[in-house]
């Protein structure tokens, strides 16, 4: 079932706006799903590397995140759904291209650190499945171009040169000299729209040209600053002698097929790193430049430029029916569109989520998602169940913080831990306040027993610290200073806590005041997560199965049966029932008897997701939340039918 989404609010950014950031509310789409299906919540958006339009069906768009997460829209960007790509999250996407035809061919260029997942991939079924193309496997591919005069002809820029195909990607041949080191690492490529034998290639050094299908190549850099990284090349479809090139040294234009270049002025020096340059296909004098400092437009072929937005644009696509309708893939705001030639920009991220890692916590009637790295965003998002929307929260470190965890301390305050600091935010205060702490070093995470008399524990590189007076005082509660890897606290009214430290495994039964050593479930295992019930039952997620203890870790028992000895990544107790949940690979299991026996939960809606963590809000015990790798948060209704914890 395709979950069709629609954003409830449009954000407009006039061209005079100096700082176009999407920091207002991220509204929850209206979603229809079966009662036993997982429903995506977001927060939608995240970095986008490329976007392309199927020219035979302009309502259909393809977008890809930097980590090769692929999405498709069938309604001009109003909603997106994720597609299965075999190497998502383990590699880097570089470029997208669509070759029109009776059966349109989609191409995705991949480059990564290792050769195993690199190469060029093709889909002949609208992105539903992808095949690695023979002859390109293991190659670092950076750029793609499809010939306008012959859509079966394609060019690919690779780490070791230029490759051509004349049969829609079935076969490829290298056409640049292997011994020419200057014509390698081809970061941009373009084909003359009238002559597919004329090809331009941009490298980290300078541009090159061939007019005979790659038999001979010539450097074409007269007028261009030496050692310019050529990121993008655009050939005028009405006059192929007219060419634009963008580089780290600025934007250049040529009127003689790249025999000479003239530098175009008007964009500030800070915006010189121009990732993409595109010419309006219907109005050739209109040119768009996506730079490291924002989006720029010229209406006189590059003589003068106007800033449209501060969004970092990585790719641009024009609607073939109306070139004023433009789509942008951005580094800091996901996918955006304009229907007036870039004068106003509107987010189109419903269903599109490109978040590499996401921490999830609940409390005080809200769900909090914190992103350790969130380019252009706040890093902190709050989901209100009442309003059914996400709101970007103010960033205490102005984008410079590596957010480790977030906890709701009471109805008004929540705290976040960054790499080396803790901040407090109150709904009654206008700004974040940095909390004074007695330790020096890393903060790993925070745990809390919330409420009016809240107790907060901090896992640090100097031990476990505890406060019960809202951080006016802190006490080191471990016997000595030692690195604490993780803290786990009981659900509901429970008072137990578990500490995983460099010096062993410890537990507390008095909300962290005192600690005693306990044993690991088994020797030679990796411990990933521990859940503590209100009555002190422990579940340990390990590399060799799920272990259970009902005697404060004096003994552990492997829970076999349906779980077997599979790796369990995360485990969770319901805050008010005997129910428990466990994550194995891409499946979620539930227990109705505090972890003794297990059955598999519905996976509908999560088929293409890797679940990292689970959460249940005490205020909404009938909803199970799942934080996924790169896909955001999902929710599943879980009937509130079990009894209280045993």
| Angle subtended at Cα 321 by Cα 319 and Cα 324, rounded to the nearest 5 degrees | 55
Q: What's the pLDDT tens digit per position in 154-168? A: 999 999 999 999 999
Going from N- to C-terminal start, the domains of the chain cover 519-646
**What's the alpha-carbon Rg for the chain, to the nearest Å?**
27
Q: What is the DSSP string of 615-635?
A: E--TT-TTEEEEEETTTEEEE
Q: Name the 3-class secondary structure at 269.
A: helix
When pLDDT is cut at 50, 70 and 90, the band that residue 9 belongs to is: very low
Higher-pLDDT residue of 171 and 20 is 171
pLDDT at 125 over 80: yes
Per-residue confidence (pLDDT) for residue 522, from 0 to 100: 87
When pLDDT is cut at 50, 70 and 90, the band that residue 27 belongs to is: very low
Phi-psi region of 281 (alpha: psi -120 to 50; beta: other; left: phi over 0): alpha
Say if residues 506 and 517 touch (Cβ distance below 8 Å).
yes
pLDDT at 238 over 90: yes
Task: Give the global pTM.
Answer: 0.84
Say if residues 60 and 126 touch (Cβ distance below 8 Å).
yes
Tokens 């907060």 label which residue? 456
When pLDDT is cut at 50, 70 and 90, the band that residue 54 belongs to is: very high
Range name among 119-133, 311-325, 343-357 with the lowest pLDDT average: 343-357
What is the mean predicted confidence (pLDDT) over 140-152?
Answer: 96
Per-residue confidence (pLDDT) for residue 1, from 0 to 100: 28
Round the average pLDDT of the chain to a whole number and report it.
87
Say if residues 159 and 203 touch (Cβ distance below 8 Å).
no
Range name among 284-293, 428-437, 516-525 with the lowest pLDDT average: 428-437
Per-residue confidence (pLDDT) for residue 202, from 0 to 100: 96
Nearest Cα neighbor of 19 from 409, 234, 312, 329 is: 312
When pLDDT is cut at 50, 70 and 90, the band that residue 383 belongs to is: confident
When pLDDT is cut at 50, 70 and 90, the band that residue 520 belongs to is: confident
Per-residue confidence (pLDDT) for residue 35, from 0 to 100: 57
Q: What's the pLDDT tens digit per position in 448-491? A: 998 888 999 999 999 999 999 999 999 999 888 889 999 999 98
Fold of 519-646: Methylamine Dehydrogenase; Chain H (2.130.10)
Per-residue confidence (pLDDT) for residue 270, from 0 to 100: 58
When pLDDT is cut at 50, 70 and 90, the band that residue 404 belongs to is: confident
Q: What's the pLDDT tens digit per position in 341-353? A: 999 999 999 999 9
pLDDT at 13 over 50: no
Per-residue confidence (pLDDT) for residue 469, from 0 to 100: 94
Per-residue confidence (pLDDT) for residue 410, from 0 to 100: 84
Per-residue confidence (pLDDT) for residue 18, from 0 to 100: 31
Per-residue confidence (pLDDT) for residue 430, from 0 to 100: 65
Q: What's the pLDDT tens digit per position in 81-97? A: 989 888 877 788 999 99
Gap between the Cα atoms of 530 and 553, Å rounded: 11
pLDDT at 231 over 50: yes
Per-residue confidence (pLDDT) for residue 492, from 0 to 100: 80
User: How far from 29 is each of 41, 49, 393, CA to CA, in Å?
Assistant: 8, 23, 19
Per-residue confidence (pLDDT) for residue 414, from 0 to 100: 84
Cβ contacts of residue 12 below 8 Å, gap of 6+?
Answer: 344, 345, 346
pLDDT at 413 over 80: yes
pLDDT at 371 over 80: no
What is the mean predicted confidence (pLDDT) over 255-275?
Answer: 86
* Token pair in block for residue 296: 């720029």
Range name among 54-63, 284-293, 630-639 with the lowest pLDDT average: 630-639
For the chain, how many residues are written? Answer: 646
Q: What's the pLDDT tens digit per position in 187-224? A: 999 999 999 999 999 999 899 999 999 999 999 999 99
Per-residue confidence (pLDDT) for residue 19, from 0 to 100: 33
Q: What's the pLDDT tens digit per position in 101-117? A: 999 999 999 988 677 78
What is the mean predicted confidence (pLDDT) over 399-417?
Answer: 78
Q: Name the 3-class secondary structure at 468.
A: coil
Higher-pLDDT residue of 28 and 47 is 47
Q: What's the pLDDT tens digit per position in 422-436? A: 998 877 766 788 999
* Residues 82/86/88/93 CA torsion (nearest 10 deg): -100
Element (H, E) at 549: strand 545-549
pLDDT at 375 over 70: no
């Amino acid at each position: 079932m395709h979950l069709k989404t629609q954003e409830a609010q449009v954000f407009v950014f006039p061209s005079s706006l100096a700082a176009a950031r999407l920091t207002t509310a991220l509204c929850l789409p209206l979603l229809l799903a079966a009662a036993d299906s997982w429903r995506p919540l977001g927060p939608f958006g995240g970095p986008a590397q490329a976007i392309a339009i199927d020219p035979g069906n302009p309502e259909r768009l393809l977008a890809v995140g930097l980590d090769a997460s692929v999405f498709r829209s069938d309604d001009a960007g109003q909603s997106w759904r994720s597609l299965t790509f075999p190497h998502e999250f383990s590699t880097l996407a570089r470029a997208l291209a669509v070759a029109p035809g009776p059966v349109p061919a989609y191409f995705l260029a991949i480059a990564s650190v290792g050769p195993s997942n690199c190469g060029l991939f093709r889909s002949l079924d609208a992105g539903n499945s992808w095949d690695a193309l023979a002859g390109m496997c293991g190659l670092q591919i950076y750029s793609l171009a499809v010939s306008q005069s012959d859509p079966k002809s394609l060019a690919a820029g690779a780490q070791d040169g230029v490759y051509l195909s004349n049969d829609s990607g079935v076969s490829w041949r290298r056409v640049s000299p292997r011994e020419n080191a200057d014509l390698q690492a081809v970061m941009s490529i373009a084909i003359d729209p009238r002559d597919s034998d004329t090809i331009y290639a941009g490298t980290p050094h300078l541009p090159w040209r061939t007019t005979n299908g790659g038999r001979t190549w010539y450097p074409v850099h007269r007028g261009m600053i030496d050692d310019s990284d050529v990121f993008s090349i655009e050939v005028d479809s009405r006059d192929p002698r007219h060419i634009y090139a963008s580089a780290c040294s600025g934007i250049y234009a040529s009127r003689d097929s790249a025999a000479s270049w003239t530098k175009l002025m008007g964009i500030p020096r800070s915006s010189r790193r121009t990732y993409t340059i595109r010419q309006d296909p219907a109005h050739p004098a209109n040119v768009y430049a996506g730079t490291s400092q924002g989006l720029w437009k010229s209406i006189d072929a590059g003589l003068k430029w106007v800033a449209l937005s501060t969004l970092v644009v990585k790719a641009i696509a024009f609607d073939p029916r109306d070139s004023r309708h433009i789509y942008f893939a951005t580094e800091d705001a996901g996918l955006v569109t304009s229907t007036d030639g870039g004068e106003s920009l509107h987010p189109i991220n419903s269903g599109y989520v490109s978040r590499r890692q996401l921490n999830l916590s609940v409390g005080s009637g809200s769900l909090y998602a914190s992103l350790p790295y969130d380019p252009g965003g706040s890093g902190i998002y709050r989901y209100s169940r009442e309003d059914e929307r996400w709101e970007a929260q103010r960033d205490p470190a102005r984008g410079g913080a590596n957010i480790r965890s977030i906890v709701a301390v009471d109805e008004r305050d929540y705290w976040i831990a960054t790499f080396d600091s803790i901040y407090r935010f109150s709904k009654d205060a206008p700004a974040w306040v940095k909390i004074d702490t007695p330790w020096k070093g890393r903060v790993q995470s925070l745990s809390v027993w919330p409420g009016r008399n809240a107790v907060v524990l901090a896992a640090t590189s100097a031990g476990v610290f505890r406060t019960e007076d809202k951080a006016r005082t802190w006490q080191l509660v471990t016997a000595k200073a030692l690195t604490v890897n993780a803290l786990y606290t009981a659900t509901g009214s429970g008072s137990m806590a578990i500490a995983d430290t460099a010096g062993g495994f410890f537990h507390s039964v008095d909300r962290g005041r005192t600690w005693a050593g306990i044993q690991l479930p088994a020797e030679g295992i990796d411990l990933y997560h521990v859940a503590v019930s209100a009555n002190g039952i422990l579940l340990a997620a390990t590399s060799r199965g799920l272990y259970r203890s009902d005697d404060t870790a004096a003994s552990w028992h492997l829970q076999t049966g349906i779980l077997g000895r599979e790796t369990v990544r995360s485990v969770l107790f319901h805050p008010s029932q005997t129910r428990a949940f466990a994550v194995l690979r891409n499946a979620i299991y539930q227990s109705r008897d505090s972890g003794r026996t297990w059955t598999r939960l519905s996976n509908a809606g999560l088929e293409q997701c890797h679940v990292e963590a689970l959460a249940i809000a005490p205020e909404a015990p009938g909803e199970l939340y799942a934080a996924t790798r790169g896909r955001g948060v999902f929710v599943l209704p879980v009937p509130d039918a079990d009894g209280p914890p045993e």
